[in-house]
Amino acid sequence: MKDRTLLMIPGPIEFEPEVLAALGAPTTSHVDPDFIEVFGQALERMREVWLCPSGQPFVVAGSGMLAMEMAVANLIEPGDKVLVLSTGVFGDRYGELLSLYNAEVTVLRAPLGDTIALEEVEAALKANSYKLITFTHVDTSTGVRVDVKSLGDLGRKYGVLTVLDGVCSVAGEELHQEEWGIDVVLTASQKAIGVPPGLALMVVSPRALAAWRERKAPVASYYMDWNNWLPIMEAYEARRPSYFGTPPVNSIFALNVSLGQILAEGMSERFARHRKLGTACKAAIRALGMSQVSTNSAHAAATLTAPYYPEGIVGSEFLPRVKAASAILAGGLHPEIKARYFRIGHMGATNPGDLLATIGAIETGLRSCGYDCELGAGVAAAQQTLNS
């Protein structure tokens, strides 16, 4: 009998067998010709996945937080003014991080579950001269998605560098980095990119690289300094060995496999698949009588869903019962409502069968906790959306 529990949290996610096979293959030298070719190909493929043909990819061992800090360390000098748009925990975290680098930080914070009006963002950009604006494409704590294209337009209009935290969006939510004028798009490997945790990934525009080259103060980090990493990326893409710090060889083999799978699916098709999965999950949650943290379907993420528990249901009872029904979900993260909601990840390798099985497990968990819902109602609603 198969003993498998679906991992349906917003990262780490379920991974494709070929990706795991690459991760578990015998480790080779970081200057082996086979690895040099794979690393170079992965960098080229990142441009295609990010849809940023003129961008500079970076692959560094670390987490999404490293990617967030790497952008700050290289683009911010003491006294630079930064506008942070916060739609949850990770927007707030970016503000804290920027303050450590002595930036002058202004935070525009959305009401819980909502976005920030573009008019409010533009008013802030008119009122002050900012070097940088940061925003989180999908905040994993709330499931809120922002309008990246419109924010990119504002960044170009006011001559402000734009940094997108795409940890919970890249390769899942629609994103055209170059066309939309986003200067840095960063992510981590363990979400929609589809590789186990361990890689900090970003693509940097020529405009951002020019701003970095023009900085007056040295970068206040040795490990994160693009002066140390850019020659490495350029060398591997040119199919030459190079060394600053030992690259995570197996993870990069796995990354190249996953990027190849993403591109084989096609970016438009992948965006559409995630939209359908997200819409289906949310339809199921509504059919079961539950509300969601995101207050408007227009800004609800395709990569995760954040439902509130029904009255009388508590996570400490509900989540273990869902796991017993073969699906692992995540509890709440936002401090204001942490005990009131849970999170379902549906990105990367997630397929309709995975989602339907998860909705079924949620129904089972709800019923076993005493919630009066109709078994099959959520599954039917999801199925109707998936088949439309």
Q: Which of 223, 240, 265 is the last residue of a domain?
A: 265
Same domain, 201 and 293: no
In CATH, what number is assigned to the domain containing residue 186? 3.40.640.10
| Residue 169, in any domain of the structure | yes
| Residue 44, in any domain of the structure | yes
| Best CA proximity match to 10, nearest among 200, 164, 167 | 167
| Residue 104, in any domain of the structure | yes
Enclosing domain of residue 226: 17-265
How far apart CA 129 and CA 161 sit, in angstroms, is: 11
Task: Give ∠ CA 323-22-230 in degrees, rounded to 5.
Answer: 110
| Residue 172, in any domain of the structure | yes
Same domain, 284 and 252: no
Same domain, 305 and 200: no
What are the mean pLDDT values of the chain's consecutive 10-residue runs (388 residues total)? 84 97 97 98 98 98 98 98 98 97 98 98 98 98 98 98 98 98 98 98 98 97 98 98 97 98 98 98 98 97 98 97 98 98 98 98 97 96 96
Q: Which residue has the tokens 């140390």?
A: 228
Same domain, 331 and 354: yes
Same domain, 235 and 169: yes
- Residue environment code for 124-152, b if the CB has 16+ CB neighbours within 10 A, otherwise e: bbeeeebbbbbbbbbbbbbbbbbbbeebb
Same domain, 260 and 271: no
Q: What is the pLDDT of residue 339?
A: 98
How far apart CA 65 and CA 383 sit, in angstroms, is: 36
Q: How far is CA 140 from the centre of its chain?
A: 8
- Token pair for residue 325? 């029904």
Same domain, 195 and 299: no
Give the max Cα distance, the chain: 64
Same domain, 84 and 197: yes
Q: Which residue has the tokens 């819409």?
A: 279
| Residue 344, in any domain of the structure | yes
Q: What is the pLDDT of residue 3?
A: 73
Question: How buried is residue 295: exposed, middle or buried, by Cβ count under 10 Å (0-12/13-18/19+)?
Answer: middle
In CATH, what number is assigned to the domain containing residue 302? 3.90.1150.10
Same domain, 234 and 276: no
Q: Where are the alpha helices (DSSP H) in the chain?
A: 17-23, 33-50, 64-75, 89-100, 118-127, 148-157, 177-180, 206-213, 226-237, 249-265, 267-287, 315-324, 352-368, 377-386
Which residue type is seen at 131?
Answer: K
| Residue 1, in any domain of the structure | no
| Residue 45, in any domain of the structure | yes
How far apart CA 222 and CA 227 sit, in angstroms, is: 9
Same domain, 354 and 335: yes
Same domain, 82 and 218: yes
Same domain, 325 and 185: no
Q: Which of 234, 265, 296 is the last residue of a domain?
A: 265
Q: What is the pLDDT of residue 1?
A: 40
Task: Report the number of distinct structural domains present in the chain.
Answer: 2
Q: Which of 217, 232, 265 is the last residue of a domain?
A: 265
Q: What is the pLDDT of residue 4?
A: 81
| Residue 362, in any domain of the structure | yes
